[in-house]
Amino acid sequence: MVGESRVLRTAGHGGKGRAVTEQEGRAPLRVEALGDVPGAVGWRVEVVETSPSTNADLAARARDGAASGTVLVAEHQTAGRGRIDRTFHTPPRSALTFSVLLRPSAPAQQWPWLPLVTGLAARSALARQHPAVDVSLKWPNDVLVAPAAHPDEPGKVAGILAERIETPAGPAAVIGIGINTATTREELPVPTAASLRTAGVPAAAIDRTVLLREVLTDLSALLVRWERGDLADLRTSYAAACATVGRRVRVELPQGDALVGDAVDVDGAGCLVVEAGGRRHTVGAGDVIHVRPA
């Protein structure tokens, strides 16, 4: 997974309408600034104008032999994929949508940590770039933001989808992330969603190019720790950043049942620990709803 070469390719990238999109916080990605992202992972970044799903496209490339560290970014994702086969659509350049390809050497039992590690990278990058915004994580694959003046009203600014792909060269991981940047309230798909704009970030302060570089830089450093097996350290970092821990939650389980209780921890396998009915339950998958205090 670790390498040195960094290659940039582009497709269908024009500058028409740049003045308007910059004013709206929707400037095209600056391709020339993405060719040398620092970090141990040798990221190779490709920007395309349109993709139905960067995860699906990158999974196909993985099966065809694409290298670890390949990053596919779409200026406009027309049929993005989320968990449980959900799809979503965002206006062009109103979000940062990309997927990364990894061919890890870490054992399979560590792979459930990949969406959590990616969430940590997105959170740290967003918090560093926009310190006036309260940024937290929602287990297992969401990033939340709220204006600093209203930290009790967070919304989902980003979602993460990690997939294991079987390829002729062995298993690979494709991790997709979509971060709502300049999306307006009217453009968001559901009332619980948010964007940097709705969290109070001025359009002029939104820079998707810088944000992408920051996320990839942080993700590179976290992946080194993950490959080394430093899960206790990652667990501490994640629990501290996770708004789910310490909250009353309702977990919609894959089999259709619901578990209501107090989220008390994230365990060494990356599972959520929920205390309910006098017992501790380990949840490896499910939709989590933060229950507001009565």
Q: Is residue 284's pLDDT more than 70?
A: yes
The CATH code of domain 8-240 reads 3.30.930.10
Q: Is residue 212's pLDDT more than 90?
A: yes
Please report, as a single letter, which amino acid is at residue 269. A
The domain spans of the chain are: 8-240, 244-290
Identify which has the larger pLDDT, 86 or 236: 236
pLDDT at 153: 79
Q: Is residue 288's pLDDT more than 70?
A: yes
pLDDT at 90: 78
State the fold for domain 244-290. SH3 type barrels. (2.30.30)
The pLDDT tens digits for 177-205 are: 999 999 999 999 888 899 999 999 999 99
Average pLDDT (210-232) is 97
**Confidence band (pLDDT; 50, 70, 90) for 88?**
low
**Confidence band (pLDDT; 50, 70, 90) for 10?**
very low
The two structure tokens encoding residue 157: 């600014």
Q: Is residue 4's pLDDT more than 50?
A: no
pLDDT at 84: 47
The pLDDT tens digits for 50-81 are: 999 999 999 999 999 999 999 999 999 987 55
Average pLDDT (257-277) is 95
Q: What is the pTM of this model?
A: 0.89
**Confidence band (pLDDT; 50, 70, 90) for 172?**
very high
User: Mean pLDDT over all residues of the chain?
Assistant: 89
